[in-house]
Amino acid sequence: RILYMEKEIELLSQLDPNHPINYIDSHIEDDIQEHMTKMEEATLEELSALWHGQQGAINEQKLRFYESRLQDVQGSLDGPVALEHYGSCLDLIHEHCSVDSPGTAESNGRLEEVDFDKLDLGKWIEPAYHLANLLATTDRLTESKAWTEEILAEKPWHVGALSMMRIVCLRLNDEEAAMKWAVKGLPGLSPQSRTWRSEWVQENMDLAKEKLAELQKDLTDKIVAKIEISVRTTSGVMT
């Protein structure tokens, strides 16, 4: 997770208009805008690929298969196809994001039984994002909002989740919340928005670096704990 977070921070930095990859040797605004837009698309695609592949190629294939079936459940709410799809997503989330027994938990496909306190979505964020999208597609808007809030608590810079939260709030007729999340979204690349965008990138990079520091501390604590156990065991054998 540490290596993934380091790569994520690097990609976030590329969204800053002042990053070297966004430089083009031209003073023509249309050329500058076109170049920055291409770089943005490439960076967001890399971020998406990073998030999809966090649990290896086989699990990424499973997730992308579920994503490809999204149109099959549109508007079906609690039909058999939708219920199967909910269950498949939940099983993927519980298998890889459970705090208590990673890799062994079963969800039984029941959305109402999900305990977010027992999930660490940072282990693999994209299945939760897909589930939130699925819930929105099948008009389960309140549940979609709850999942999206959890995603954004883990990754406040998740551009897709920020956009979806705004749309879900609008569909729930909560214009105040929709405006709040719109302001939190990734600013555009117009000349007037670039300073704001740079500030957005810096703010979210700082948050990502805090997450990285937490992961590094957890790893260090685990290593120290193992060393201490080893030393105590060795000392016991010697005595």
Six-digit token string for 23: 């430089």
**CA distance to 15, 152, 167, 195, per residue, from 204 (Å):** 11, 11, 21, 14
Q: What confidence score (pLDDT) does residue 163 get?
A: 96
Q: What confidence score (pLDDT) does residue 104 get?
A: 44
Q: What confidence score (pLDDT) does residue 238 get?
A: 57
Model confidence pLDDT, tens digit, residues 120-139: 999 999 999 999 999 998 88
* Residue listed under structure tokens 């670096």: 209
The crossing angle, in degrees rounded to 10, of helices 80-97 and 57-68 is 160
**CA distance to 7, 41, 44, 152, 234, per residue, from 14 (Å):** 11, 11, 10, 20, 49
Q: For CA atoms 2, 154, 90, 74, give the dihedral sign.
A: negative
Q: What confidence score (pLDDT) does residue 131 get?
A: 93
pTM above 0.75, yes or no: yes
Low-confidence spans in the chain with pLDDT less than 50: 103-109
Residue 80: count other Cβ atoms within 10 Å of its Cβ.
9
**Residue 8 neighbours by CB under 8 Å, 6+ apart:** 47, 50, 208
Q: What confidence score (pLDDT) does residue 227 get?
A: 87
Q: Yes or no: say if 70 and 137 are a contact pair by the CB < 8 Å rule.
A: yes
Q: What confidence score (pLDDT) does residue 52 get?
A: 96
d(CA 137, CA 133) in angstroms, rounded, equals 6
> What's 188's DSSP letter?
-
d(CA 183, CA 185) in angstroms, rounded, equals 5
Q: Is 6 left (phi over 0), alpha (psi -120 to 50) or beta?
A: alpha
d(CA 45, CA 72) in angstroms, rounded, equals 24
Q: What confidence score (pLDDT) does residue 112 get?
A: 60
Q: What confidence score (pLDDT) does residue 28 get?
A: 94
AA identity, residue 35: H
Six-digit token string for 121: 């979505």
